[in-house]
Chain A
Amino acid sequence: MKAKVRLFCLVLVLMIALVPLAGCATSSPQAKSTAVRVALIMPGPISDSDWNMLGYEALQVVAKEQEVETAYSEKIAVADAERVAREYIAEDYNVIIFHGGQFVTATMNLAGEYPDVTFIMGSATPVPDLPPNVWNMVRRYYKGGYALGDLAARMTKTGKIGYLAGVQLPDFMAIANSVHEAAGKVDPNIEVIYSFTGDQNDPVKARQAADAMIAEGVDVIIDWMNAGVSGVEEAVLASDDVVLMTTFSTDKHERAPERYLVSMLLDLGVPYSFMVGEIKQGKTTGVFDFEPGSGMLLSPTYNMPDGIAASLKSLWSQLENDEVIPTENTEKLFDQ
């Protein structure tokens, strides 16, 4: 009797286990959709009021301008990026945008594996041997940094300007170098002090690093933090001396109205919509230079004389038209 019960249970378990397989065997293959479907993979939350929020906003632009279906995932660590991308691909998303320069390896790994899927990735410099199904958005931040370095050099009263970023990435080093180059052309005696806190999104570290700069006599800080910018703002606001600052990504001047000079704005809808549009036309590879005039723009100016504001806008226009071409040095910092 016990043996019959055991046999019955075994048969029941086997039947339960085999039903899904039977279903797979008898179902007809799903027809793959040919419409462009775009998935955006972001490293942080879209509530960061910075890089990831811009990615989210850009995705809305892509959906509207290119009339494509979109989806997104946020707070995806580098180690999880490939897995998340595969999940989207399994759901017939055929354009995957990796929002951030930390996903280059993941992109290159997946590109070879999925030749029918087009990937968009960002990087500090052009990636060599670009696969035929990868678009490369190259961040030319250093060009914007040149303008901000020129501005800071004209606004400083102590002769010391600071550049503060989180991670020591090649393009962030290039910004420090272009700031130094621009400041040197205004006044060779100006000292550029830089600091890397190790985290783009830690406002406590940013506060401490900015405090250290201010203690050294810096009175204009070029901030290149993401969510960590609030720490820089509070250091500037807490200073007994007047310290001014700039930032990038979004216009944050209302958080410190009397301290912000200008923000270098990033309109990621421009590159992403362009590249998706090209992909829709069948062009699945290329390089997009993300630079002044192509997605990078200046916010309104604040707390500066009209003459300096005009000079800044003029220089920006020259950068847009390649009339001024800063030196791009992503290898090492200017004092090394």
Chain B
Amino acid sequence: MSFELLVDPSLLQLALLMSTPLLLAALGELIIERSGILNVAIEGMMSVGAGVGFLVAFFTEDHLLGSLAAMAAVALMGWLLGYYGITLRANQLIIGLGLFIFGLGLPSLLYRIAFGPQMVAPRIDLMPSLAIPFLSEIPYIGPVLFDQPLLVYLTYLLVPVLSFFLFRTPLGLQLRACGENPRAADTLGVNIIATRYACVIIGAAIIGLAGYFIPAIVTATYTDNIIGGRGWIALQLVIFGRWLPGASISGALLFAYIEALQYRLALIAKSVPPQLFQTLPYIVAILVMIQVYQRAEKPAALMQPYNREARG
């Protein structure tokens, strides 16, 4: 195995592309968890985003409408999560798992209603790549970094924007306070309920967009289980990044890189069973998690419903 294989531009370009839905979903989840709500329905939410977005994009032939539909549909799921977890103060883990299962089944049903059995699967045109003038022509790194779909650029731009918002603005401070010490924040006039609802809905909308990324940029079609476990990886990335936007980038890139590399390795290492290469990304994820989790400090009030009337 040569070093050139590990740094092949097409491999790196694909890794950056495939890291985007992971990172975007992780950023959405980060907003939710920073406010104190745990959302384990990411996989189901991404599935709904993929399915609803694909259907709208197919019938309207418009990616913008597909994106907005995906975000709206999953925002609604976020509202549901908020209603049960914030207003009713139910167990967020159980509600999340319920929404996860619901999210896997709903797009499948909608797809069946829309298309039924068909000889040829419906297809949408992929979002085109947007080559940035001059930058995309830089040898080697130009095509890797600067010849990607618009959503890739927006996702990576969202990282510093979100980081600035969370740590440099009063509103970001209020948001973080909801997740660290909601009672103290409440005494200072922060509306905990409204803030958490807003975070859950906005975070879910971003997760929905991450789900739509798959059919819109990678596959051009929708199939059952198209998300393929990436929602769970995104959940892990939040912990990997210690609930910091910037730190999640490395986890997303690492996982996507290993995932893309496995197929190159499988082509040249014929004596190794391909099944071993297929487990590589997940083994790496587990090993990294073991190291990182020990130092991770979650928001102090994560998963704790807030009751204004309760004592103490």
Which residues of A are in contact with B by a Cβ distance under 8 Å? 44-50, 53, 56-57, 75, 168, 193, 195-199, 201-205, 207-209, 211-213, 215-216, 227-228, 230-231, 233-234, 237-238, 250-252, 254-255, 333, 335-336
Contacts and interface: CB of A to CB of B under 8 A. Distances in A.
Interface residues of B, number: 38
Given A198-B278, A201-B224, A234 B121 contact: no
B120 interface: yes
Contacts of A49: 117-121
16 contacts: A45-B108, A47-B108, A50-B121, A53-B117, A53-B118, A53-B119, A56-B117, A75-B224, A201-B224, A204-B214, A212-B264, A216-B267, A230-B220, A231-B218, A237-B126, A336-B271
Contacts of B120: 49, 250-252, 254-255
Contacts of A230: 121, 123, 219-221, 223
B263 A211 contact: yes
Contacts of B225: 201-202
A225 to B, nearest CB: 11
A198 B219 CA distance: 17
Contacts of B18: 204, 208
Nearest to B227: A204
Contacts of A237: 126
A234 B274 CA distance: 23
Contact of B219 (A47, A215, A234): A234
B43 interface: no
Given A53-B118, A204-B228, A250-B119, 16 more contacts: A45-B224, A48-B121, A49-B117, A49-B118, A193-B267, A198-B274, A202-B223, A203-B218, A211-B10, A212-B266, A215-B11, A227-B224, A230-B219, A234-B126, A234-B218, A255-B120
Interface centre among A49, A199, A238, A336 (most CB of B within 10 A): A49
Nearest to A196: B274
Contacts of A216: 264, 267
> Which 5 residue pairs are nearest across A and B when measured between Cβ atoms?
A212-B263, A49-B121, A203-B219, A230-B221, A227-B223
B112 A45 contact: yes
Contacts of B278: 197-198
B266 A203 contact: no
Contacts of B267: 193, 195, 212-213, 216
Q: Which one of A48, A203, A205 has the highest number of Cβ atoms from chain B below 10 Å of its Cβ?
A: A203
Nearest to B21: A204
A168 B221 CA distance: 24
Contacts of A208: 14, 18, 259-260, 263
A327 B221 CA distance: 36
Contacts of A231: 218-219
B137 interface: no
Contacts of A199: 228
A8 to B, nearest CB: 38
Q: Give the interface centre of B10, B108, B117, B120 by most chain A CB atoms within 10 Å.
A: B117
A211 B14 contact: yes
Contacts of B228: 199, 202, 204-205
A215 B264 contact: yes
B117 A234 contact: no
A100 to B, nearest CB: 15
Contacts of B14: 208, 211
Nearest to B15: A208
Contacts of B275: 168, 198
Nearest to A215: B10
Interface in B247-276: 259-260, 263-264, 266-267, 270-271, 274-275
B116 interface: yes
A195 B115 CA distance: 31
Nearest to A203: B219
Given A193-B267, A208-B263, A57 B117 contact: yes
Contacts of B126: 234, 237-238
B111 interface: yes
A203 B224 contact: no
A212 B123 CA distance: 23
B226 interface: yes
A203 B8 CA distance: 22
Contacts of B218: 203-204, 207, 231, 234
A336 B270 contact: yes
Contacts of B264: 212, 215-216
Nearest to B220: A234
Interface in B1-53: 8, 10-11, 14, 18
Nearest to A201: B223
Interface string B187-225: 000000000000000000000000000100011110111
Contacts of B270: 333, 335-336
Contacts of B119: 49, 53, 250-251
